């Protein structure tokens, strides 16, 4: 079983004030806002230890050898699956035996921000800095919530239990029920003089800079998790997680399909017939592409490993270049005569009138290929 006393650095007979003081000291140095991601796991351990040892009932269970923060921890019993007689009363009468005060330090909410990137950044990955408006630990009170020089005190109504008992009448007679103390909100303590900066919350709103490493291969809708970079919890509790959702901007030249890229390259009719070498601007810079003699409209030339990097695994997709043969217009008399001579040499003055099957367009064929037809 984890030694929570050792984590906080206090003896087993430490007073509540000693435990609280040790937690504050460690929280200030290990909080992700200060220590970064390296201190995240240690901060979570410290917060878990404080949650148990600051609660009288949970601490008693822990001292008896039961970790109430572990899955299935704490005393159970009843009719199987953890449902007992006490649960029946809680269902019908709104409460059972007091479970102890609620810790003021609680985990914060997760946050979501969106990041716009271009195709090049999606293909190769990028390191970006984001400005995030979020809740951070109040530096005036260090998350305690009390005005500097003051401290919280035990609630006079519930005497630190965090709950009060009342008698309710039912068809079974008088039933003793419990409810959170309205005077302290269930915390067991009250803050007579709240911190002027956070009003007793232990956290304030602030803008901070977060660095996110965007891996190659992300696409619109991809979410990147930054652990413990979300909202700081009430009472200076551990922060939630920050999720960065990617939105990829469209590109002027390339269309992305998975990790492959597609583009259209216009080629003059004569170059398609005779063959040539052209220079194509890609994400990796200028690349030479061979147009073979007799290249037909819609033919695809594939350039391997010039697409988007794979998000899971190594390697990259391909760049597929769709050839668009351009038929010349506005011919001069000399050019027209030359084409007529070529037509005569090829015996094409009167083309064969027989019909052929419909020729699908470039992106129609691409659609069929992607759909598995």
The reply to whether 263 sits in an annotated binding site is: no
The reply to whether 138 sits in an annotated binding site is: yes
Mean of pLDDT values over 201-219? 95
Tokens matching residue 162: 């965090």
pLDDT cut 90: percent of the chain above it: 57
Tokens matching residue 360: 């699908």
Confidence band of 165 (pLDDT split at 50, 70, 90) = confident
Tokens matching residue 157: 């109504």
pLDDT above 80: residue 82 = no
Mean of pLDDT values over 299-313? 95
Mean of pLDDT values over 91-99? 46
The reply to whether 141 sits in an annotated binding site is: yes
Mean of pLDDT values over 12-41? 78
Mean of pLDDT values over 244-262? 96
pLDDT cut 70: percent of the chain above it: 81
* Radius of gyration (C-alpha) of the chain in whole angstroms: 35
Identify which of 50, 160, 67 has the alpha carbon closest to the alpha carbon of residue 105. Answer: 50
Confidence band of 36 (pLDDT split at 50, 70, 90) = low
Mean of pLDDT values over 349-366? 60
Alpha-carbon distance of 347 to 76, in angstroms, equals 95
Mean of pLDDT values over 157-182? 78
pLDDT confidence of residue 79: 33
Name, in order, each residue with C-beta under 8 angstroms of 17's C-beta and a sequence gap of 6 or more: none
Alpha-carbon distance of 81 to 134, in angstroms, equals 40
Tokens matching residue 296: 């037909």
Domain positions in the chain = 255-370
pLDDT confidence of residue 232: 93
Confidence band of 26 (pLDDT split at 50, 70, 90) = confident
Mean of pLDDT values over 89-102? 54
pLDDT above 90: residue 326 = yes
Alpha-carbon distance of 188 to 311, in angstroms, equals 49
Q: Which residue has the higher pLDDT, 251 or 168?
A: 251
pLDDT confidence of residue 59: 86
Confidence band of 80 (pLDDT split at 50, 70, 90) = very low
pLDDT confidence of residue 83: 37
Neighbouring-strand partners of residue 281: 286
Mean of pLDDT values over 344-359? 71
Q: What is the pLDDT of residues 107-124, one digit of tens each?
A: 999 999 999 999 999 999
CATH superfamily for 255-370 is Urease metallochaperone UreE, N-terminal domain (2.60.260.20)
pLDDT, averaged across the chain: 84
pLDDT confidence of residue 218: 96
pLDDT confidence of residue 94: 46
pLDDT above 90: residue 268 = yes
Task: Determine which of 76-90, 299-313, 319-333 has the lowest per-residue pLDDT on average.
Answer: 76-90
pLDDT confidence of residue 278: 95
The reply to whether 155 sits in an annotated binding site is: yes
pLDDT above 80: residue 156 = yes
pLDDT confidence of residue 76: 38
Torsion angles phi and psi, residue 174, rounded to 5: -80, 130
Instruction: Indicate yes or no: pTM above 0.75.
Output: no
């Amino acid at each position: 079983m984890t030694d929570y006393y050792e984590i906080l650095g206090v003896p087993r007979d430490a007073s509540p004030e000693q435990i609280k003081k040790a937690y504050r000291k460690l929280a200030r140095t290990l909080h992700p806002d200060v220590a970064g991601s390296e201190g995240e796991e240690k901060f979570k351990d410290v917060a878990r230890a404080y949650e148990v040892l600051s609660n009288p009932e949970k601490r008693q269970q822990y001292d008896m050898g039961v970790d109430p923060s572990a899955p299935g921890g704490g005393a159970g019993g009843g009719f199987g699956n953890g449902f007992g007689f006490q649960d029946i009363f809680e269902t019908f009468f709104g409460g059972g035996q007091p479970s102890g005060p609620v810790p003021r330090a609680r985990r914060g909410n997760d946050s979501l921000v969106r990041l716009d990137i271009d195709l090049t950044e999606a293909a190769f990955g990028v390191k970006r800095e984001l400005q995030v408006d979020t809740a951070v630990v109040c530096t005036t009170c260090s998350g305690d919530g009390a005005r500097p020089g003051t401290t919280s005190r035990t609630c006079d109504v519930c005497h630190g239990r965090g709950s009060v008992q009342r008698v309710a009448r039912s068809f079974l007679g008088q039933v003793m029920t419990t409810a959170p103390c309205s005077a302290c909100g269930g915390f067991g303590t009250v803050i007579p003089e709240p911190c002027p900066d956070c009003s007793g919350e232990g956290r304030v709103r602030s803008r901070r800079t977060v660095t996110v490493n965007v891996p190659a291969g992300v696409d619109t809708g991809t979410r990147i998790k930054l652990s413990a970079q979300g909202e700081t919890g009430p009472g200076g509790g551990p922060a939630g997680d920050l999720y960065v959702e990617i939105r990829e901007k469209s590109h002027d030249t390339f269309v992305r399909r998975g990790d492959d890229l597609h583009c259209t390259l216009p080629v003059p009719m004569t170059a398609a017939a005779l063959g040539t070498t052209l220079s194509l601007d890609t994400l990796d810079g200028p690349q030479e592409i061979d147009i073979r003699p007799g290249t037909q409209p819609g033919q695809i030339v594939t350039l391997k490993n010039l697409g988007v990097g794979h998000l899971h695994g190594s390697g990259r997709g391909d760049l597929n270049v769709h050839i668009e043969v351009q038929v010349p217009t506005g011919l001069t008399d000399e050019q027209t005569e030359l084409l007529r001579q070529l037509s005569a040499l090829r015996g094409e003055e009167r083309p064969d009138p027989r019909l052929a099957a419909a020729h699908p367009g470039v992106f129609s064929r691409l659609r069929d290929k992607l759909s598995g037809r």
